[in-house]
Amino acid sequence: MADTLSYPQAVTYNRHIVLPQIDLEGQEALLNARVLIIGIGGLGSPAAQLLCSSGTGQLTLVDDDKVEASNLPRQILFSRAQVGQFKVHAARDRLQDLNPDCRIRTVTTRLDDEALRQAISEHDLVLDCTDNAPSRQQINAICYAQQRPLVSGAAIRFEGQLLMVDPLNHSPCYQCITRLFSEQQLSCVEAGIFAPVVATIGTQQAHIALLWLMGKQVLPAGQLLTYDGLSLSWQQFTVPADPQCTVCQLTKTSK
């Protein structure tokens, strides 16, 4: 049986509930949602905070890194007192203060394909908040195989990008965009990152996820959004499916 909002919860989320696009039905959809967030750094910090504080029922946080002092300017969940702790444990403690009703699970290991496949299958939606191309490709491929929607974000220097992948509607996937836009091989350590850019992209990942969980869709699947943090401008591109894509086209033909 689905959980229903208690009176104290209804009071807490009143500003959502009075929006006719959300109402009680939408807020209760969030209460019953399970979201997997992979990467609790610059993108995952604001995304997790907004998903938790907005009333998402269950979050699973995956990250094998520990908090470092150099993280603090952009990874806004953490405090200096938490340096040395696993990021997922530090994030859990801060998030439980925000919303004790949110069930939070933590994973402190890097998931191999089998473990990631199991984790993805247990959730309604996945947020890819990682910072490297191999992880993005791995998450994209397994989400598509498991038929789970994915909100992928990336940021470096003053640039960011957002993509929603919806396997149930046979959307193009992350691998499709790599033939149109070269994948960034440099890390933020090497190239640098402007702190507000990761906060902007992580916030938009949460925005897209929350609307999708409530039955809305602000960003059509397969639409790539890019952000220029110097000019404060967004561009939107329609990504055609790659006929030779070994992820989405192979999955489609194998059905």
Q: Where are the domains of the chain?
A: 33-254
Considering the domain 33-254 in this protein, what is its CATH number?
3.40.50.720
Task: Tell me the pLDDT of the chain averaged across its residues.
Answer: 92
What's the average model confidence in pLDDT over 233-247? 91
**Looking at residue 220, what is its pLDDT?**
83
Residue 46's nearest CA partner among 235, 207, 193, 231 is 207
**Model pTM score:** 0.94
179-233 tens-digit pLDDT:
776 655 655 566 789 999 999 999 999 999 999 999 987 888 889 999 999 999 9
Q: How far apart are CA 199 and CA 50, in angstroms?
A: 11
What is the residue whose two structure tokens read 């200096």? Answer: 80
**Looking at residue 249, what is its pLDDT?**
84
Q: Could you give phi then psi for residue 186, rounded to 5 degrees?
A: -75, 150
Q: For strands 125-128 and 150-156, give the pairing.
A: parallel
Residue 95's nearest CA partner among 150, 55, 140, 133 is 55
**Looking at residue 217, what is its pLDDT?**
77
Burial 90-106 (b: 16+ CB within 10 A, else e): bbbebbeeebebbebeb
Q: Taking a C-beta distance cutoff of 8 angstroms, is the pair 77, 91 a contact?
A: yes
What's the average model confidence in pLDDT over 52-69? 97
Residue 40's nearest CA partner among 112, 89, 102 is 89
102-147 tens-digit pLDDT:
999 999 999 999 999 999 999 999 999 999 889 999 999 999 999 9
